[in-house]
């Protein structure tokens, strides 16, 4: 068996090699080199008169690739600091960028006060950061003092990216996320187009926003990529003067805000109305104030679950920037300031931002900004649409992953950005009578849609939708008929309503998906509006929140108008109005061209089973051995011929060693030998159960291999009986014979049963049999079909003397019929009386082969009374003293 | 010596043909009369009734939490009940049943020593394995099918023939639509047990101990389920043999998604084809010493 041992060793070696190679690959796999940032304090001068000295706390991450690389400025979210961006910065530096993160003035360990991304303050700071980058030896330059640089950031950081791009021509590409176009409009939204001065104050978000400027941040930002409204962040959490004197009254009130911003907020928060001054101040910090000045490639990522900066903000940015001819792409990702984003979605956004920077900072031979500047001459012409491959991407719910049971996000892409009014618009009939609704005194209780700051705690869409709640008596409901087929809304649905009453009315419009269970308010968004109501009714066109949602067939679209919302400042005076529909129709925007890439089963779904079939075929073909020669040898009449038979144990010791003998027809051969002589091994090889290492066995001229047909002429009983214990003796024999597939008339079952002599026990389960009964049944089984060669291993074990005598006669008679019997035994007397010929084995070797008479004659001891087999045997095997 | 071509001494006994040995019927009968076969089917057929009794007499659903679980909906109707019965038994009971039928089949013959007499009959080794595999798979298929069918009968008698209500959202699918999908579910449950079946079968030809073969296959499922819980493995887990075992729940949603089931079938077929090939290869060259 050395061959087999060798194979085992080889297999073990291969396995070991695989483990070692796998381990090394694990250890040495090229991971992104660890990048360490260098903390730097960058002094800047800003203010309207350029007279305020501020020290910005920054960290510079040199590019891991070495040499001069494009630079990226990463800006943090409101309430955060540069520390939030460490991982992202290290990742980008590892990707071959020189990255600079900084805490904006008023945040972290930077000095100065928060000016809300004002052109006089934060924008000037960023310009000086760009100057600083231009002096670094690691940064690639487009010209003297003009580094190749992009800006990315989320929310507050996204706004500074836009504002800096407007004021600094050296910036080459930006990727602002979940940020604003018009901060005044974001905080004082109005959905009939009357502008922020008529807007409804978004008091909860504003409170969080301005509260975060003072001390700790309640913001939790599930914000991908460079974004970060990172909550509870390190630097900003300790207030303006850590370890310093106790805060003054003004500091308590205004935190680290610039005084004029603090005053503005206190005014608007008290009245709930935007003053012209407030609008002017907020707009100065907004891209709306710099139309046409952002002319560089811009990737706008906005969250679908964002009641602070909804999709409309990104839409406005996209339109204004695209109007300059600059390349623009728009992505609507899953989360936003209300949370609910998916990790996989965030990863995907991060990849897209990196790809965007690569495209315009690394790959572009000339600065990407050229694309925008080149069209300066033609500016003022009709704004080019936002077109191109994948310019518009929407993250959609892709159900649940079948394996992990987790939500899956799919990304639908389009080659044109349709804007919020959709690529196509359709009308959907909705109806409902005019309804009286009341504004509660004190503005309480209120309807609930989104709860700012809680969204991320409550997580997914299911939890969020559970929050949306309308107070009876404060809400009017209008519904469509059940949809006959699914309706996909992408953009802002519009509706014309009519309000009857007197004076100014504040309303909130919501569009629910009313289906089987609880109605769902998509993304928990509402559209606030003000109408100057008249007794004969004032019509207003309401732009409902921008959403991307598929309304299932059978569901209804439900428009709800309420007088209150938790997140907004509403009038405190009690009042009753009547509201109704001016037109019985919703205008539904949609974009059928948005296509989700086929998310069918991966390539491996087909490849894996095919590969398995190939491997399996290989295994079976290469494993085929010792069966090809099944028909070896010409049939002849020699019942058994053993030639050079050798079988080794696993340790190499020979169980059977070069054994050769031949048995003729009509002989009863005794196979003799002490324990371990190799008798049973020889018999097993005779049955094709084990493979000889060398030599051959021929039965009636046919070589014995596993399953050789000639074995059907062999009846065997080797090493004890083998029966199905749950079956009766008779059933065992019958089923055994049926398993041979031979005709039942050939079985000679009755003759065999007679030999077994079991009587009525035949119909009991074999498990109840004694050892002797099983033995006899097994011999009967071996004799089924009266085989030409019968091999019996210790047939008289467990038989009583009369049965032994009977068995002796049976075997003799069996051989006299021209058949051949081989009996192995250790009972020498038995052999002497039964057998005509003997084979004596010792330690696998043949010691004697001949007739019993020969054995006795040749080996007869000289002094004994007569020849005894026992003496001859002991003499032969060398045990006789 | 005798003459070549002596009609009395052909290369095989009269009436012997390798292709007629160990017919499926014989093997089927040999296995059918076994106690463990009867006991396992008895258990599978009784379980739905035990569950019915448990639901009838146990305290009502507590109703905590706002998402509907499959167990909360089990009493909604026959289809719901059958889906519940399948979900609670697929991860272990059916695994054990399949491992029993496939793991026991060759190893128990070796244990009883009857294997050597079959091989010396002679039943060619490939044929012996093939017949045993077919019959064992047949019993496994019967086990996987009989439980949900009996659950469907028991559930329908106990709770009525109603539309299926989906866990989570509580939406309903008309019973007429759900029935063919239910067939898909049962079929998938069967295919997803292929890995267990083939692993048990491979162990069955490798060992003389039936318990070892059955236990080994069940152990594989346990180890795979444990690995599946290690999130750090990421998408590698998709290739674990048990990863997709619950993907059939996707077929019982208002908007059925078969992609997970397709992946599950791919993984299952991949493993089982290779394991069965290894089983045949091993058995062919094996020295039968039991």
Q: Which residues pair with A551 in a beta bridge?
A: A487
CA distance B122 to B145: 34
Of the candidate ranges A2-16, B79-93, B97-111, the one whose mean pLDDT is the lowest: A2-16
Band of residue A404 on the pLDDT scale cut at 50, 70, 90: low
Q: Is A598 on the interface with B (CB under 8 A)?
A: no
Per-residue pLDDT at A452 exceeds 80: no
With CA atoms as reference, report the closest residue to A456 among A396, A401, A409, A524: A524
Per-residue pLDDT at A865 exceeds 60: no
Question: B7-26, pLDDT tens digit by residue?
Answer: 444 678 888 888 889 999 99
In a domain, B98, yes or no: yes
Band of residue A365 on the pLDDT scale cut at 50, 70, 90: low
- What pLDDT is recorded for position A818? 85
A558 with A672, same domain: the answer is no
With residue A828 as reference, give the H or E element that holds it. Answer: helix A828-834
The helix-helix angle for B93-112 and B125-159 (nearest 10°) equals: 150
Tokens of B87: 């979900």
Q: Is A402 on the interface with B (CB under 8 A)?
A: yes
Question: B259-281, pLDDT tens digit by residue?
Answer: 888 989 999 999 999 999 999 99
Distance to chain A for B288, nearest Cα, Å: 5
Q: Domain of A270: which CATH number?
A: 3.40.50.1820
Q: Indicate the SS3 state at residue A152.
A: strand
CB count within 10 Å of CB A644 equals 12
Number of structural domains (chain B) is 1
A220 with A80, same domain: the answer is yes
CA distance B184 to B250: 11
Q: Is B152 on the interface with A (CB under 8 A)?
A: no
Residue where a domain stops, chosen among A561, A590, A619: A590
Tokens of B138: 């047949």
Q: Is B238 on the interface with A (CB under 8 A)?
A: yes
Question: A456-506, pLDDT tens digit by residue?
Answer: 444 444 444 456 788 888 899 999 999 888 889 999 999 999 999 988 999
Eight-class DSSP state of A52: E
Per-residue pLDDT at B64 exceeds 70: no
Band of residue B5 on the pLDDT scale cut at 50, 70, 90: very low
Q: Indicate the SS3 state at residue B87.
A: helix
Tokens 């609704």 locate to A437
Band of residue A189 on the pLDDT scale cut at 50, 70, 90: very high
Question: A598-649, pLDDT tens digit by residue?
Answer: 656 677 888 899 999 999 999 888 865 554 444 556 667 789 999 999 998 8
| Mean pLDDT confidence for B33-39 | 90
| Residue numbers in A near B12 (CB within 8 A) | 709-710, 712-713
Distance to chain B for A751, nearest Cα, Å: 18
Option in B247, B266, B287 nearest A609 (CB): B266
Tokens of A865: 């009374």
User: What is the domain extent for residue A495?
Assistant: 424-590
Q: Is A634 on the interface with B (CB under 8 A)?
A: yes
**Cβ neighbours of residue A349 under 8 Å, at least 6 residues apart?**
A177, A224, A225, A301, A331, A333
In a domain, A4, yes or no: no
User: What is the domain extent for residue B193?
Assistant: 22-58+67-285
Option in A665, A712, A739 nearest B12 (CB): A712
**Cβ neighbours of residue A218 under 8 Å, at least 6 residues apart?**
A79, A208, A211, A212, A231, A453
How far are the Cα atoms of A92, A137, A213, A235, A387 from residue A41, in angstroms, in the given order? Answer: 21, 18, 21, 14, 42
| HEC string for A799-822 | CCHHHHHHHHHHHHHHHHCCCEEE
With residue A694 as reference, give the H or E element that holds it. Answer: strand A694-699
- What pLDDT is recorded for position A236? 35
- What pLDDT is recorded for position A386? 78
Q: Domain of A722: which CATH number?
A: 3.40.50.300
Option in A687, A701, A742 nearest B16 (CB): A742
In a domain, A410, yes or no: no
CA distance A132 to A109: 19
Q: Which residue has the higher pLDDT, A880 or A850?
A: A850
List the single residue in A with minimal CA-CA distance to B251.
A402
In a domain, B14, yes or no: no
pLDDT-above-90 percentage for chain A: 39
Of the candidate ranges A46-50, A132-136, A223-227, the one whose mean pLDDT is the lowest: A223-227
| Cβ–Cβ below 8 Å for A688 and B120 | yes
Option in B10, B67, B278 nearest A635 (CB): B10
How far are the Cα atoms of A643, A781, A807, A850, A854 from residue A838, in angstroms, in the given order? Answer: 17, 25, 18, 6, 9
Tokens of B68: 């509907």
CA A130 to chain centre: 41
Per-residue pLDDT at A745 exceeds 70: yes
Is there a contact between B151 and B46 (Cβ–Cβ < 8 Å)? no
Burial of A433 (0-12, 13-18, 19+ CB in 10 A): exposed
In a domain, A668, yes or no: yes
How far are the Cα atoms of A714, B114, B187 from residue A734, in angstroms, in the given order? Answer: 18, 14, 36
In a domain, A193, yes or no: yes
Sign of CA dihedral A635, A636, A640, A644: negative
Tokens of B186: 């049962």
Is there a contact between A403 and A539 (Cβ–Cβ < 8 Å)? no
List the single residue in B with minimal CA-CA distance to A626.
B285
Number of structural domains (chain A) is 3
| HEC string for A330-354 | EEEECCCCCCCCCHHHHHHHHHHHH
A196 with A303, same domain: the answer is yes
With CA atoms as reference, report the closest residue to B121 among A730, A696, A774, A737: A737
With residue B211 as reference, give the H or E element that holds it. Answer: helix B210-228
- What pLDDT is recorded for position B289? 82
In a domain, A18, yes or no: no
| Residue numbers in A near B66 (CB within 8 A) | 466
Q: Indicate the SS3 state at residue A507.
A: strand
| Cβ–Cβ below 8 Å for B16 and A624 | no
CA distance A763 to A732: 10
A453 with A541, same domain: the answer is yes
Q: Residue A405: left if φ>0, alpha if ψ -120 to 50, beta else—which one?
A: left
Question: A59-111, pLDDT tens digit by residue?
Answer: 999 998 888 999 999 999 888 889 989 989 999 998 899 999 999 998 889 99
Question: A387-403, pLDDT tens digit by residue?
Answer: 877 889 898 887 666 55
What's the maximum distance between 2 C-alpha atoms anywhere in chain B? 90
With CA atoms as reference, report the closest residue to A426 among A545, A556, A587: A587
Of the candidate ranges A814-818, B48-52, B157-161, the one whose mean pLDDT is the lowest: A814-818
What is the rounded (10 degree) CA torsion for A336, A342, A343, A344?
-120
Q: State the best of A739, A768, A794, A818 to mutate against chain B, taking most chain B CBs within 10 Å.
A: A739
Out of A282-291, A748-757, B173-182, the most confident range is A282-291
Find residues 62-121 of chain B whose CB sits inside 8 Å of chain A: 66-67, 109, 112-121
Question: A144-185, pLDDT tens digit by residue?
Answer: 889 999 999 988 999 999 999 999 999 999 999 999 999 999
Q: Is A431 on the interface with B (CB under 8 A)?
A: no
Q: Which residues pair with A577 in a beta bridge?
A: A437
Q: Which residue has the higher pLDDT, B232 or B77?
A: B77
Per-residue pLDDT at A552 exceeds 60: yes
Per-residue pLDDT at A453 exceeds 70: no
Option in A516, A599, A712 nearest B16 (CB): A712
- What pLDDT is recorded for position A176? 95
List the single residue in B with minimal CA-CA distance to A618.
B277
Q: Are strands A714-717 and A575-590 parallel, antiparallel or unpaired?
A: unpaired
In a domain, B7, yes or no: no
| Cβ–Cβ below 8 Å for B244 and A599 | no
What's the maximum distance between 2 C-alpha atoms anywhere in chain A? 145
Number of A/B CB contacts below 8 angstroms equals 236
- What pLDDT is recorded for position A190? 93
CA distance A243 to A252: 15
Mean residue pLDDT across chain A:
83
CA distance A793 to A135: 97
Band of residue A261 on the pLDDT scale cut at 50, 70, 90: confident
| Residue numbers in B near A709 (CB within 8 A) | 11-12, 16, 18, 122
- What pLDDT is recorded for position B59? 65
Residue where a domain stops, chosen among A574, A590, A606: A590
CA distance A451 to A635: 93
| Cβ–Cβ below 8 Å for A516 and B170 | yes
A428 with A382, same domain: the answer is no
Question: B190-220, pLDDT tens digit by residue?
Answer: 999 999 999 999 999 998 899 999 999 999 9
Sign of CA dihedral A530, A532, A535, A537: negative
A714 with A585, same domain: the answer is no
Q: Is A707 on the interface with B (CB under 8 A)?
A: yes
| Cβ–Cβ below 8 Å for B288 and A613 | no
| HEC string for A704-744 | CCCCCHHHHHEEEECCCCCCCCCCEHHHHHHHHHHHHCCCH
Is there a contact between A94 and A86 (Cβ–Cβ < 8 Å)? no
| Cβ–Cβ below 8 Å for B9 and A600 | no
With CA atoms as reference, report the closest residue to A523 among A345, A336, A346, A348: A336
Of the candidate ranges A200-214, A755-769, A836-850, the one whose mean pLDDT is the lowest: A200-214
Band of residue A523 on the pLDDT scale cut at 50, 70, 90: confident
Mean residue pLDDT across chain B:
86
Per-residue pLDDT at A229 exceeds 60: no
| DSSP track, A6-44 | HHHHHHHHHHHHHHHHHHHHHHHS-PPPP---EEEEEEE
What is the rounded (10 degree) CA torsion for A156, A162, A164, A165?
160
Per-residue pLDDT at B6 exceeds 70: no
In a domain, B8, yes or no: no
Is there a contact between B211 and B270 (Cβ–Cβ < 8 Å)? no
CA distance B123 to B139: 21
Is there a contact between A760 and A711 (Cβ–Cβ < 8 Å)? no
Query: b/e per residue, B62-83, with b = 16+ CB within 10 A?
Result: eeeeeebebebbbbbbbbbbbb
Q: Are strands A845-851 and A714-717 parallel, antiparallel or unpaired?
A: unpaired
| Mean pLDDT confidence for B175-181 | 86
| HEC string for A575-616 | EEEEEEEEEEEEEEEECCCCECCCCCCCCHHHHHHHHHHHHH
- What pLDDT is recorded for position A280? 92
CA distance B27 to B24: 5
CA distance B257 to A399: 9
Is there a contact between A171 and A151 (Cβ–Cβ < 8 Å)? yes
């Amino acid at each position: 068996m050395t061959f087999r041992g060798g194979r085992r060793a080889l297999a073990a070696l291969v396995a070991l090699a695989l483990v070692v190679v796998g381990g090394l690959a694990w250890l040495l796999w090229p991971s992104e080199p660890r990048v360490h940032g260098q903390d730097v304090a960058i002094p800047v001068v800003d203010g309207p008169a350029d007279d305020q000295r501020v020290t910005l706390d920054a960290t510079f991450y040199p590019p891991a690739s070495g040499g001069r690389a494009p630079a990226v400025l990463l800006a943090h979210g409101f309430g955060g600091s540069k520390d939030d961006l460490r991982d992202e910065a290290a990742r980008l530096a590892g990707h071959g960028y020189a990255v600079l993160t900084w805490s904006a003035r008023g945040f972290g360990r930077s000095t100065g006060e928060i000016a809300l991304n004002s052109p006089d303050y934060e924008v000037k700071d960023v310009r000086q950061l760009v100057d600083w980058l231009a002096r670094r030896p690691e940064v690639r330059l487009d010209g003297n003092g003009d580094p190749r640089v992009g800006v990315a950031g989320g929310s507050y950081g996204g706004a500074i990216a836009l504002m800096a791009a407007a004021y600094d021509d050296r910036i080459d590409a930006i990727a602002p996320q979940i940020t604003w176009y018009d901060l005044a409009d974001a905080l004082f939204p109005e959905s009939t187009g009357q502008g922020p001065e008529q807007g409804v104050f978004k008091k909860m978000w504003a409170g969080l926003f301005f509260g975060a400027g003072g001390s700790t941040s309640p913001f939790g930002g599930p914000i991908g990529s460079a974004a970060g409204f990172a909550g509870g962040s390190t630097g900003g959490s300790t207030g303006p003067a850590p370890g310093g004197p106790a805060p003054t009254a003004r500091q308590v009130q205004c935190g680290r805000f610039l005084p004029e911003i603090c005053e503005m907020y206190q005014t608007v928060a008290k009245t709930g109305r935007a003053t012209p001054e407030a609008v002017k101040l907020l707009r100065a910090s907004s891209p709306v104030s710099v139309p046409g000045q952002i002319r560089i490639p811009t990737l706008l990522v906005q969250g679908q679950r964002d009641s602070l900066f909804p999709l409309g903000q990104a839409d406005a940015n996209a339109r204004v920037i695209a109007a300059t001819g600059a390349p623009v792409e728009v992505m609507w990702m899953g989360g936003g300031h209300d949370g609910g984003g998916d990790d996989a979605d965030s990863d995907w956004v991060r990849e897209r931002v990196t790809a965007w920077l690569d495209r315009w900072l690394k790959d572009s031979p000339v600065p990407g900004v050229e694309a925008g500047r080149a069209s300066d001459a033609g500016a003022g012409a009709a704004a080019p649409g936002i077109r191109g491959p994948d310019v518009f991407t929407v993250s959609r719910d892709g159900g649940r992953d079948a394996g992990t049971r987790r939500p899956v996000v799919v990304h639908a892409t389009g080659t044109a950005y349709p804007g919020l009014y959709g690529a196509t618009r359709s009308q959907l009939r909705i109806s409902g009578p005019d309804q009286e609704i009341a504004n509660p005194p004190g503005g309480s209780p209120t309807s609930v849609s989104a709860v700012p700051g809680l969204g991320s705690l409550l997580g997914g869409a299911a939890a969020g939708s559970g929050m949306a709640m309308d107070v009876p008596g404060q809400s009017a409901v209008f519904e469509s008929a059940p949809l006959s087929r699914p309706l996909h809304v992408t953009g802002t649905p519009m509706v014309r309503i009519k309000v009857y009453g007197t004076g100014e009315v504040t309303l909130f419009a919501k569009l629910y998906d009313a289906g089987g269970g609880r109605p769902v308010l998509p993304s928990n968004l509402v559209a606030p509006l003000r109408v100057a109501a008249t007794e004969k009714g004032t019509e207003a066109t309401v732009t409902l929140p921008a959403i991307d949602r598929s309304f299932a067939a059978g569901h209804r679209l439900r428009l709800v108008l309420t007088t209150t919302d938790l997140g907004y400042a509403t009038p405190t005076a009690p009042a009753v109005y009547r509201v109704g529909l001016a037109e019985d129709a919703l205008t539904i925007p949609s974009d059928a061209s948005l296509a989700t890439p086929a998310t069918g089963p991966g390539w491996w779904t087909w490849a894996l089973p095919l590969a398995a079939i190939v491997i399996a075929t290989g295994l079976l073909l290469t494993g085929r051995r010792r069966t090809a020669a099944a028909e070896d040898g010409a049939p002849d009449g020699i019942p058994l011929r053993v030639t050079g038979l050798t079988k080794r144990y696993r340790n190499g010791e020979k169980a059977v060693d070069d054994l050769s003998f031949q048995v003729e027809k009509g002989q009863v051969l005794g196979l003799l030998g002490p324990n371990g002589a190799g008798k049973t091994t020889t018999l097993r090889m005779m049955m094709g159960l084990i493979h000889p290492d060398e030599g051959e066995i021929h039965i009636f001229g046919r070589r014995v291999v596993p399953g050789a047909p000639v074995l059907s002429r062999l009846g065997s009983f080797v090493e004890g009986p083998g029966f199905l214990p749950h079956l009766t003796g008779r059933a065992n024999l019958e089923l055994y014979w049926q398993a041979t597939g031979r005709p039942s008339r050939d079985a000679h079952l009755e003759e065999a049963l007679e030999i077994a002599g079991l009587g009525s026990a035949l119909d009991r389960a074999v498990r109840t049999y004694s050892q002797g009964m099983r033995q006899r049944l097994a011999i009967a089984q071996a004799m089924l079909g009266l085989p030409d060669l019968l091999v019996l291993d210790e047939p008289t074990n467990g038989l009583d003397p009369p049965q032994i005598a009977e068995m002796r006669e049976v075997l003799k008679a069996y051989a006299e019929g021209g058949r051949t019997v081989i009996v192995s035994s250790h009972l020498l007397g038995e052999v002497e009386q039964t057998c005509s010929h003997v084979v004596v084995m010792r330690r696998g070797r043949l010691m004697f082969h001949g007739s019993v008479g020969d054995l006795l004659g040749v080996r007869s001891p000289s002094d004994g009374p007569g020849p005894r087999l026992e003496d001859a045997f002991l003499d032969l095997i060398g045990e006789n003293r | 010596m005798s003459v070549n071509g002596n009609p009395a001494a052909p290369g095989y006994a009269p009436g012997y043909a390798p292709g007629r040995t160990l017919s499926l019927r014989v093997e089927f009968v040999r296995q059918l009369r076994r106690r463990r076969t009867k006991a396992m089917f008895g258990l599978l057929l009784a379980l739905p009734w035990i569950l019915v009794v448990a639901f009838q007499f146990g305290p009502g659903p507590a109703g905590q939490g706002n998402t509907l679980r499959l167990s909360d909906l089990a009493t909604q109707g026959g289809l719901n009940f059958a889906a519940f019965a399948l979900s609670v038994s697929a991860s272990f009971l059916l695994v054990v049943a399949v491992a029993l039928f496939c793991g026991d089949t060759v190893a128990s013959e070796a244990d009883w020593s009857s294997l050597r007499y079959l091989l010396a009959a002679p039943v060619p080794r490939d044929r012996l394995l093939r017949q045993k595999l077919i019959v064992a798979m047949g019993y496994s298929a019967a086990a996987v099918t009989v439980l949900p069918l009996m659950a469907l009968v028991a559930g329908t008698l106990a709770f009525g023939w109603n539309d299926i209500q989906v866990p989570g959202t509580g939406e309903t699918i008309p019973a007429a639509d759900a029935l063919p999908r239910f067939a898909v579910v049962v079929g998938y449950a069967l295919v997803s047990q292929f890995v267990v079946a083939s692993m048990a079968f491979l162990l069955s030809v490798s060992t003389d101990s039936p318990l070892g073969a059955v236990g080994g296959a069940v152990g594989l499922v346990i180890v795979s389920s444990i690995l599946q819980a290690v999130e750090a493995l990421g998408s590698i887990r998709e290739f674990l043999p048990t990863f997709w075992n619950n993907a059939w729940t996707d077929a019982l949603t208002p908007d059925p998604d078969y992609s997970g089931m397709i992946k599950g079938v791919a993984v299952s077929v991949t493993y089982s084809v290779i394991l069965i090939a290894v089983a045949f290869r091993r058995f062919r060259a094996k020295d039968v010493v039991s």
